[in-house]
Amino acid sequence: MNERGHTRRGFLAGVGSAVLGSLAGCQSAFNPLASTVLDEFAATQFRQGLLNQGYTDQSIPEHVVKAWAVPTNRGDHTAAKGSPALSPTGDLVVADDTGRIRALSTGGEGQWATTITQATRGSHGTAAIANDTAYVGTYDGAVSAVDIETGQRRWRTQLGDAIGASPTYYNGLLYVAIEHSAPSGSVAAVDAATGDVHWRDSWPTNHPHSTVALDRERGRLLFGSNDGRVYAWSFPDLERAWTYDTGGDVKAPIAIADGLAIVPSWAGTITAVNVDDGSREWEFAADADVMCAPAVADGTVYVGSHDDRIYAIDLDSGDEVWRYDTGGWIIGSVVATPEHVLVGSYDTRLYALERETGDVTWSVPNRGHVTSAPLVTEDAIYYTERAQWDDEELVGPGYLYKLSEGA
């Protein structure tokens, strides 16, 4: 379930429209738990909360039909695309690889569109929404804050050379993994009202575009990097705690459940790492790279691989429960619902599989590779796809789709 707070539009209006943050290093006086006048929790954010578990308590229909499709992505970069988010206004908010962030009604009509970057790869992140504001990172290394009703940009803060991860919002702060040339990386805590940088650490040694996970119960903040490591800090004091080396790039978000960090890796593994001390609890071997964001529900991990399969893995033991071959790479994000898991594939289909057995309930063909996390609401499913490319030539855009209940 999404964690919700109270909005503070009046306060934000008095902050100013564009305040650039300081790029100084760690600031010892910073207290992440200090009281703030901003929302404590996001109305919505990538992977459905701070633990990146990818679970929604909304059930899906047994049969679906396409209600509409709107052109969205046009880039050729193979990384997973940004996912639509449902705003408190009732509109969909989606950032795409053209450099836009847009709001659309649930009927598919455009409400506003704002260009937030001229970077070639635009944005691949999903907006975190809080304080009547959408926060999103872009491939020029900046984070922007945009009013969800008007599309007006409130502030923009330059943090590095690229941001491929989605921001994680908690208690008035955005925690963002940042890529720097060299290659190197960092993580920063950014004030959601002003864009000021309150804390940053340049511990990662390669490009991180794994969305930050925050385990408040066990006091850990962590994410993965292209150097193959998971990096963990204590929380709220934000001291370096431990690293774990998977042996392959960690590009996707890490899910946390029952004190375990579930880590997908280009080593072809999914590893359960103890959140407290960074020790390995179990390791599951796929037959190819893993860069899919796992979902966790009721003691089972659901994750896809470049071997075309989605796996169900027992959270306690690491044993395989079932597998299903989609016929195409799975590099997006799995979403778990009460009875199903949803996953997109390079075979252009979005699949709904039964959680208990892996049997196909339905699959929907599309135009391009489906690499976003599906958004499930009370009466619809929304998702985006990559553009259609052939021999380095754009054949057609990738679309944002709406599925409704069918007969």
Tokens 């306690």 correspond to 316
- CA 246, CA 269: separation in Å to the nearest integer? 8
Q: Can you read off the two tokens belonging to residue 222? A: 């962590």
Assigned domain for 339 exists? yes
pLDDT value, residue 397? 95
pLDDT value, residue 11? 37
Cβ atoms within 10 A of the Cβ of 395, count? 11
- The CB-side HSE value for 231 (13 A sphere, CA atoms) comes to 27
From first to last of its 407 residues, what are the pLDDT tens digits of the chain?
Answer: 333 333 344 434 344 333 333 343 455 578 999 867 899 999 999 999 999 999 999 999 999 999 999 999 999 888 889 999 999 999 999 999 999 999 999 999 999 999 999 999 999 999 999 999 999 999 999 999 999 999 999 999 999 999 999 999 999 999 999 999 989 999 999 999 999 999 999 999 999 989 999 999 999 999 999 999 999 999 999 999 999 999 999 999 999 999 999 999 999 999 999 999 999 999 999 999 999 999 999 999 999 999 999 999 999 999 999 999 999 999 999 999 999 999 999 999 999 999 999 999 999 999 999 999 999 999 999 999 999 988 788 999 999 999 999 98
Assigned domain for 34 exists? yes
Cβ atoms within 10 A of the Cβ of 25, count? 11
Assigned domain for 259 exists? yes
Tokens 């998977």 correspond to 246
pLDDT value, residue 362? 98
- CA 34, CA 30: separation in Å to the nearest integer? 9
- CA 92, CA 105: separation in Å to the nearest integer? 6
pLDDT value, residue 229? 98
Q: Is 13 helix (H, G, I), strand (E, B) or coil?
A: helix
DSSP code for 292: P
Domain count, the chain: 1
- 261: domain CATH number? 2.130.10.10
Tokens 């499930």 correspond to 376
pLDDT value, residue 22? 36
- CA 306, CA 252: separation in Å to the nearest integer? 13
The residue ranges of DSSP E strands in 91-130, in sequence order, are 92-95, 100-104, 110-115, 128-130
Tokens 């690293």 correspond to 243
Give the range of the structural domain holding residue 278, as residue numbers without chain letter: 9-405
Assigned domain for 284 exists? yes
Which residues partner with 101 through β-bridges? 95, 114
pLDDT value, residue 19? 34
Assigned domain for 138 exists? yes
Assigned domain for 108 exists? yes
Length of the chain, in residues: 407
Q: CB under 8 Å to 102, separation ≥6 — which residues?
A: 93, 94, 95, 96, 110, 111, 112, 113, 114, 151
Q: How far is CA 170 from CA 39, 130, 356, in A?
A: 8, 9, 33
pLDDT value, residue 369? 94
Instruction: Render the burial of 39-64: b for 16+ CB within 10 Å, e for the rest.
Output: bebbbbbbbbbbbbbbbbebebbeeb
- CA 95, CA 139: separation in Å to the nearest integer? 12
pLDDT value, residue 96? 96
Amino acid at site 198: H
Assigned domain for 2 exists? no
User: Does the N-terminal peptide bond of residue 294 adopt cis geometry, omega within 30 degrees of 0?
Assistant: no
pLDDT value, residue 261? 98
pTM, 2 dp: 0.93
Assigned domain for 1 exists? no
